[in-house]
Chains A and B, each alone.
Chain A
Amino acid sequence: AQSVTQPDIHITVSEGASLELRCNYSYGATPYLFWYVQSPGQGLQLLLKYFSGDTLVQGIKGFEAEFKRSQSSFNLRKPSVHWSDAAEYFCAVGAYDDKIIFGKGTRLHILP
């Protein structure tokens, strides 16, 4: 069965600290992987996506993610978080032309 697991419901980090949000997936075919960010009451903004090629993907706002096929993971990282990064982050998986399945999300809190 296709699924996306984000093991951390909430994560709190201090401003300026590094961040890693975990994402594991189960997918039968070659996965297309995404990370989205959602601010309260807003739609989704795409941070980055992986389709093929280099397994380290650079996104917007200084985020990056690494695809590790052997671990079925696609963790999101940022070397130094800013207060404006506080939001809900969703990992998602899909096929070339199939529907996208979302994880349950990780709420990121930033301490001043």
Chain B
Amino acid sequence: GAVVSQHPSWVICKSGTSVKIECRSLDFQATTMFWYRQFPKQSLMLMATSNEGSKATYEQGVEKDKFLINHASLTLSTLTVTSAHPEDSSFYICSARGVGGATNEKLFFGSGTQLSVL
């Protein structure tokens, strides 16, 4: 089946630093990628939707200047948490939607990134 690679799996950083998370579709092209955030024992909350070559669409309440999303190619999207603080500690998951066909039939998730900000 289709594979979405998310890297790194976990990262620990100091408060005030920036962290970049990559989401790659390994064997298909993804016109749309989604970024989710999950707090412990809670559901996934959609942060933003990114389309290749255009600006991301952020959900209400998500700071676009803090969570920078880039979707420069059909196989790669990145989420950069800028000036991270302890409250940004969370589990971040990406998903990628393949081109062609019934779009949500080709939706695949990465394995997630655990971010811990000290």
Contacts and interface: CB of A to CB of B under 8 A. Distances in A.
B70 interface: no
B102 A102 contact: no
Interface in A24-42: 32, 36, 41-42
Interface in B65-118: 91, 93, 95, 102-105, 107-112, 114
A43 B92 CA distance: 9
B110 A102 contact: no
Interface residues of A, number: 24
Contacts of A94: 104
A100 B104 contact: yes
B104 A97 contact: yes
Interface in B48-62: 49
Contacts of A36: 109
B112 A42 contact: yes
B12 interface: no
9 contacts: A36-B109, A43-B6, A46-B109, A49-B105, A51-B102, A90-B43, A99-B34, A99-B46, A102-B44
